[in-house]
Amino acid sequence: MKKNILLITLLLICSTAYTQAILTLDGCHQKAMDNYPLIKQYGLISLTEQYSLENISKKYLPQFSLNGQATYQSDVTKIPIDLSSLPIPNAEIPTMKKDQYKATVDATQLIWDGGTINALKQVTKANTDVEKQKIEVGIYSIKEKVNQLYFGILVIDEQLKILDLTEATMKANKDIARSMFNNGVAMQSDLDQIDVELLNIGQNRTEQLSMRQAYLSMLGLFIHQELDNKTILQQPAGNIAYGNITRPELSLYQSQRLLLDKQESSITAKNLPQIGLFAQGGYGRPGLNMLDTKFKLFAIGGVKLSWNFGNLYTKSNERKLIANNKNSIDVQQDVFLFNTNVQLTQQQSEIQKTQKLLAKDNEIIQLRNRIRKTSESKYKNGVYQTNELIRDINAENQAMQAKALHNIQYLISIYNYKYIQGN
């Protein structure tokens, strides 16, 4: 029973470790974009939008102000009547004081603003969409960096596989050389030459593993995951679908156009009249009765219409500026699409070129394999020298390396095409 429990535990540990050690390109893309520091900017932009919209909405709340005023004037209003000519004894007409005082509380309530507040809200939301789309463009560029690291590691993996095959071939021929040496047919220098090549392979492997770890460390920083040389990278499928460009830059251009549309709507709104209620309560001398020389409480209220005609002077130019900005965005998009199509054409040519190279690589490897086997046979029969055998083994090794490199280049071309296209 204990053995069964131990076996199950070991299997679970191995299964977990194996699962964690496998990475896919799409998975790396997603993790890199999810963990990129710029992603935090989304939350900040949303908060900014929320606060801005709340502040704009508060323009519908009653507005209050406290005012105070003390003045002294050189003259006051007087009634030009000669009291002595009137048949009223002891008659007296009050005279205003030259020093006057007033403290008021003013309240206004907006009823209709011609759509200005709603237009400001729409502009704020459209501006938020533009800022978020800029982040999308910035985050999308991370995919290219991940591609470079990911395929760089795949190239190294292929090189390591070929080194293993070459090492196995060298060791097999070393066994043959040792047997021939024991029979007096070969010399010690033959074994030494093969040992030198094995040492070279070992050095090359050390360099490749060191480079692989460096690439993995950089990739780990992007995907926020600790990676080591045991990590396995799954080779992506070489499928490609030619289609329309769907880059986030196009969405950015569209959101910029929508922002300009909202700004244009706000021009109309701010040139319309505004209607509101107002009320004023105060204490001062004089009050509403200008001839009363005592301090009095007073109040006044009503409906107010205001219409600022000054904005009409700039209305035409503001619309022209917006139209000019729209044209500028159209030009930027046309330039972007032109450059992107040029890049897609270039990558498509690269894909076709590597396909042709891969077809030739298979033929070259087959021929090199036959040459190497013939060399081994010749070496066994004493017709070939060790350095000639090593030369043919290395030639086969180079042919396999060329194919591995072309295969990864083919995948790189495909995924560069996808990146440029927006997939």
Output the pLDDT for position 130.
94
Output the pLDDT for position 247.
92
Output the pLDDT for position 1.
47
Q: How crowded is residue 372: how many other Cβ atoms within 10 Å of its Cβ?
A: 21
The torsion defined by the Cα of 370, 376, 381 and 387, in degrees rounded to 10, comes to 120
Output the pLDDT for position 170.
85
3-class SS letters over the chain: CHHHHHHHHHHHHHHHHHHHCEECHHHHHHHHHHHCHHHHHHHHHHHHHHHHHHHHHHHHCCEEEEEEEEEECCCCCCCCCCHHHCCCCCCCCCCCCCEEEEEEEEEEEEEECCCHHHHHHHHHHHHHHHHHHHHHHHHHCHHHHHHHHHHHHHHHHHHHHHHHHHHHHHHHHHHHHHHHHHCCCCCHHHHHHHHHHHHHHHHHHHHHHHHHHHHHHHHHHHHCCCCCCCCEECCCCCCCCCCCCCCHHHHHHHHHHHHHHHHHHHHHHHCCCEEEEEEEEEEEECCCCCCCCCCEEEEEEEEEEECCHHHHHHHHHHHHHHHHHHHHHHHHHHHHHHHHHHHHHHHHHHHHHHHHHHHHHHHHHHHHHHHHHHHHHHHHCCCCCHHHHHHHHHHHHHHHHHHHHHHHHHHHHHHHHHHHHCC
Is the C-alpha dihedral spanning 97, 100, 105, 108 positive or negative?
positive
Output the pLDDT for position 88.
59
> How would you classify the pairing of strands 232-233 and 22-23?
parallel
Using an 8 Å Cβ cutoff, are 180 and 376 in contact?
Answer: no
Tens digit of pLDDT at every position of the chain (423 positions): 444 544 545 554 444 444 456 899 999 999 998 888 888 888 888 899 999 999 988 888 899 999 999 999 888 877 766 655 655 566 566 777 888 999 999 999 999 888 888 999 999 999 999 999 999 998 998 999 999 999 999 999 988 988 898 888 888 888 888 888 888 777 888 888 888 989 999 999 999 999 999 999 999 999 998 888 888 999 888 777 777 899 999 999 999 999 999 999 888 888 888 999 999 999 998 888 887 888 999 999 999 998 888 777 888 898 999 999 999 999 999 999 999 999 999 999 999 999 899 889 988 989 999 998 888 888 888 777 878 888 888 888 888 888 888 988 899 999 999 999 988
Report the candidate in 169, 167, 173 with the shortest Cα–Cα distance to residue 378.
Answer: 173
Output the pLDDT for position 90.
60
First to last CA, the chain: 53
Output the pLDDT for position 83.
56
Output the pLDDT for position 237.
83
Report the candidate in 277, 220, 291, 281 with the shortest Cα–Cα distance to residue 76.
Answer: 291
Domains and CATH numbers, the chain: 127-272+310-423 (1.20.1600.10)
Output the pLDDT for position 219.
92
The whole-angstrom separation of Cα 188 and Cα 205 is: 26
Output the pLDDT for position 16.
47
Q: Identify the residue whose tokens are 């880059």.
A: 247
